Amino acid sequence: MSEHASCYRLVRELRAAWAIAKKDMRIYYVKPNIIVSGLLFPLFMFLAFSVSNTSGPSVMIPGLVAITILFSASSIEPVSIPIERRTKTFDRLLSAPASLFAMVLGESLSGFIYSIGIALVPLIGGTVIFGTPVQSALPLLLGLLLTSFCFASVGTLFAAYPTESPGDIMSMLNVVRLPLLFISGVFIPLSSIPPFAQFVTYLSPLTYGHDLIASAYSGTSHLDPIVDAVMLIAFIVTFQLLAGRIYKRYNA
């Protein structure tokens, strides 16, 4: 295949992915169950665990941003894909002249964009209401982008389960999301976790995303920011490839 043909195919696949993302943005962003699971649920959970927390806004705001990203980024696909299976529009999507790569990427993009928009709420609120300064913009930007796309990929991966009920996927997803939340340093600083137990925290993508976001406010990080970014990219690639395999096996 010539270089020109390869570039043309890549552009076509990216256009297909963007068309899928726009479709989800237009139809599903205002669904009540997505608003509850993507915005209200993480907010109430954060408030419940922060009542007795005496940490300042520079510690609390990164935690709220991380929780918001975790739930909002992975909320679109588990709702949109089962509904489209039920209405048989998902079959037309699979038969469209686009690869599974484009389909997985497009579904992930819709969760990614939604998550970025929702994450701006606590970010702006922390700056305007609490006057919480950002020490470094680059870790914050990397943390937002990579963590959002990582958990959007998680949502797409779980939505590969062949069911027509969003509740089935959400139930499985929460079995993973909640443990990830509690081992990722959001509520308990990583430095306070015993060394023999810290290896568990490194299995969670949220550990690296929260570390990046928190370092943007505090100026220091538990891990090297480069390590955080590389690990998030590795998780993204793994989830995207795994999702493509599962969709090919069960849905194509």
Which of the pair, 250 or 233, is modelled with greater confidence?
A: 233
DSSP at 87: T
Q: In this structure, are residues 159 and 81 in contact, taking their beta carbons and an 8 Å threshold?
A: yes
What per-residue string of b and e applies to 148-186 under the rule 16 or more CB within 10 Å gives b? bbbbbbbbbbbbbbebeebeebbeebbeebeebbebbbb
Would you state the pLDDT for residue 30? 74
Which range has the top average pLDDT, 42-51, 211-220, 234-243? 234-243
Mean pLDDT taken over the chain: 84
Percent of the chain with pLDDT over 70: 87
Q: 28-42, 56-70, 224-238: which range is least confident on average? A: 28-42
Domain that holds residue 170: 3-250
pLDDT at residue 118 greater than cutoff 90: no
Vertex 173 angle, CA 119 and 211, to 5°: 45
Average pLDDT value for residue range 101-123:
90
- List the single range of 38-52, 69-83, 141-155, 178-192 with lowest mean pLDDT: 38-52
Residues 53-93 have pLDDT tens digits of: 556 666 788 888 898 899 989 988 988 899 888 888 887 77
Answer yes or no: is pLDDT of 35 > 80: no
Q: How much is the pLDDT for 251?
A: 63
pLDDT score of 45 more than 70: no
Mean pLDDT of 231-237: 97
* Local confidence band at 250 (pLDDT 50, 70, 90 cut-offs): confident
Q: How many domains does the chain have?
A: 1
Q: Residue 239 above 90 pLDDT?
A: yes
Residue 52 has pLDDT above 60, yes or no: no
Give the pLDDT band (50/70/90) at residue 146: very high
Residue 5 has pLDDT above 90, yes or no: no
Res 240: pLDDT: 95
In this structure, what DSSP letter does residue 219 have?
A: S
The whole-number pLDDT of residue 33 equals: 67
With helix as H, strand as E and coil as C, how does 15-80 read? HHHHHHHHHHHHHHCCCHHHHHHHHHHHHHHHHHHHCCCCCCHHHHHHHHHHHHHHHHHCCCHHHH
